Amino acid sequence: MGRRSTEAANRAPVNRQRTLEVALAVADGEGIEAVTMRRLARELGVEAASLYHHVNGKDQILDGLVDLVAAEIEPPKPSADWRESVSQRARHTRTTLLRHPWAVSLMASRTSPGPATLRLLETGIRCLREGGFSIPMAAHAVSTLDSYVHGFVLQEVNLPFRNESELAAMTTAIMKTFPAAEFPYLFEMTIEHVLQPGYAYGNEFDYGLTVVLNGVAALRDQ
Amino acid sequence: MGRRSTEAANRAPVNRQRTLEVALAVADGEGIEAVTMRRLARELGVEAASLYHHVNGKDQILDGLVDLVAAEIEPPKPSADWRESVSQRARHTRTTLLRHPWAVSLMASRTSPGPATLRLLETGIRCLREGGFSIPMAAHAVSTLDSYVHGFVLQEVNLPFRNESELAAMTTAIMKTFPAAEFPYLFEMTIEHVLQPGYAYGNEFDYGLTVVLNGVAALRDQ
DNA sequence: GGAGGATATCTAACGGCGTTAGATTGATTT
DNA sequence: AAATCAATCTAACGCCGTTAGATATCCTCC
């Protein structure tokens, strides 16, 4: 009967790339845990088992997602100033990862890097090497920088609050659970810094980035 | 019949703490994905549903695991030198997390911090404050440091190789997949640095830590 | 000592997951 | 028209976290 055939014809073809696009949309919209074979299949108008003709398994989908996100990270503009280009790369990495909050943990845990992931690394090393870093110092520097950026964003995307009042609610709840005498410095910082109007954890990023860049600059001239 | 009763008597009592101990052992031995309600129950000589009388759900077990690991991180020895104590705290954090490779991602993603987690944070802030950091500078510093440490260990525990020869196999495999002209700096660094005898990614930690400490020191005197 | 209630455990099931085997369909080529 | 081949389907397997409700064990109080 032709019904099935017209349905199939009206449907965009299922393939690896379309599957990844759908997976990206689902992950962004409802979190990475909503990315299931059955869900992607439904989204593509197909049954779960059919996906295995286009993709080796879920792991390959996750690898593909990571590389999609890596590809989205805008490379730094060429600059004579290594500090500027390295800093740009770090900031672009962060903003991109914030758009795909599920991606940080995934990037670290995936096993086989895709082309975009390698390109991102290449870019980082290039900025440093062209800025005068020796090979070993560039290795130290890129490891330090990426560790900082990934570590920061990892914490940032997992914060259990999304605005100042939720933060206030959460911190005061924690403070009520424990006697103040037990964590004097923590409570002091909470009250006099974190709970001050205008505080946002994300603002710490630039301070830390400057710290790391300053430290890394010393490596260059070593 | 008394058989069941003696069995129950011979069995160590099931409770929250024992459940967490078993969960820790299973996670260390076979990875966090082996920590399932059914598995923990089997390990405790009980059915899965029974666990729900001692624990609210799997999330609570994961929270408990994170705090167990946090409690294991040895606090730095009191020292007049903030640099030394902060550095010790960072190194202890790393070595502990390396003993429980599943813990890094979990620590970041869990929502409600336990007492040991808070204590660890308190310790970090105290080292800095007693070392002469103002409240805002201590906030910047502890965020930067912990971001770096967690970020580094996150990459470290997810490395898809465990020794020099596996690293060599993997890197050469990657290099064969892509044309050398595409990633010149990356390949250069791989060949002239990473593949040199004695290289181990873990050694980068101390370089980065020094970098961050140097950068953070400038915050203090700002 | 027995009754009653609390606590702990059990069995059974629900809906979901990734994955596989094997049948079926549809289009393309011979 | 027959044969081939890729794409899809149905059905199932063994896991998962969690819940409802029956059952067993233990402690307390009369």
pLDDT of residue A10: 56
Q: Over chain A, what is the mean pLDDT?
A: 93
Of chain B, the end-to-end C-alpha distance in Å amounts to 76
| Dihedral sign from CA coordinates of B110, B112, B117, B118 | positive
pLDDT in tens, B113-146: 999 999 999 999 999 999 999 999 999 999 999 9
Residue A1 has pLDDT above 70, yes or no: no
pLDDT of residue A213: 97
> What mean pLDDT do residues B86-113 have?
96
> What mean pLDDT do residues B190-206 have?
96
Nearest-neighbour CA in chain A from B135: distance (Å): 6
Q: What percent of chain B has pLDDT over 90?
A: 89
User: Is B154 close to A151, i.e. CB distance below 8 A?
Assistant: yes
pLDDT of residue B216: 96
A212, A213, A220, A221, best to mutate vs chain B, most B CBs in 10 Å: A212
Alpha-carbon gap, residue B93 to A150, rounded angstroms: 17
Q: Over chain B, what is the mean pLDDT?
A: 93
Q: Which residues of A touch B194 (CB under 8 A)?
A: 139
pLDDT in tens, B23-55: 999 999 999 999 999 999 999 999 999 999 999
pLDDT of residue B1: 33
pLDDT band of residue B10 (cuts 50, 70, 90) is low
pLDDT of residue B13: 85
Q: What percent of chain A has pLDDT over 90?
A: 90
pLDDT in tens, A65-119: 999 999 999 999 989 999 999 999 999 999 999 999 999 999 999 988 999 999 9
Would you tell me how many other CB atoms lie within 10 Å of the CB of residue A128?
27
List bases, strand D, within 7 Å of protein CB.
Answer: 6-12, 15-21, 24-26
Residue B207 has pLDDT above 50, yes or no: yes
Footprint of strand C on the protein (CB under 7 A): A 1, 4-5, 8-9, 35-39, 48-49, 52, 57-59; B 8, 13-14, 41, 45-50, 53-54
Position with higher pLDDT, B4 vs B137: B137
Residue of chain B minimizing CA distance to A203: B140
Would you tell me how many other CB atoms lie within 10 Å of the CB of residue A33?
9
Query: Is the separation of the CB atoms in A140 and A189 below 8 Å?
Result: no
pLDDT band of residue A9 (cuts 50, 70, 90) is very low
Question: Smallest Cα–C1' distance to nucleotide D19: which residue has it?
Answer: B49
pLDDT of residue B111: 86
pLDDT in tens, B142-160: 999 999 999 999 999 999 8
Position with higher pLDDT, B2 vs A197: A197
pLDDT of residue A3: 37
pLDDT band of residue A149 (cuts 50, 70, 90) is very high
Query: Is the separation of the CB atoms in A91 and A49 below 8 Å?
Result: no
Residue B11 has pLDDT above 80, yes or no: no
> What mean pLDDT do residues B153-172 have?
93
A109, A144, A175, best to mutate vs chain B, most B CBs in 10 Å: A144
pLDDT in tens, A27-77: 999 999 999 999 999 999 999 999 999 999 999 999 999 999 999 999 999
Structure tokens at A80: 């004579």
CA of A209 to C1' of D18 (A): 44
Quick one: residue A132, left, alpha or beta (phi over 0 = left, psi -120 to 50 = alpha)?
left
CA of A143 to C1' of D21 (A): 56
> What mean pLDDT do residues B2-13 have?
51
Alpha-carbon gap, residue A222 to A204, rounded angstroms: 28
Structure tokens at A192: 């006099």
- DSSP class of B190: I
By the 10 Å C-beta count (0-12 exposed, 13-18 middle, 19+ buried), A9 is classed as exposed
Amino acid at B107: M
Residue B9 has pLDDT above 70, yes or no: no
CA of A50 to C1' of D10 (A): 11
pLDDT of residue A33: 97
CA of A9 to C1' of D7 (A): 13
Footprint of strand D on the protein (CB under 7 A): A 8, 13-14, 41, 45-50, 53-54; B 1, 4-5, 8-9, 35-39, 48-49, 52, 57-59
Q: Which residues of A touch B182 (CB under 8 A)?
A: 115, 119, 122
Nearest to B147 among A151, A194, A219 (CB): A151
Nearest to A144 among B140, B174, B211 (CB): B211
CA of A137 to C1' of C17 (A): 46
pLDDT in tens, A155-188: 999 998 989 999 999 999 999 999 999 999 999 9
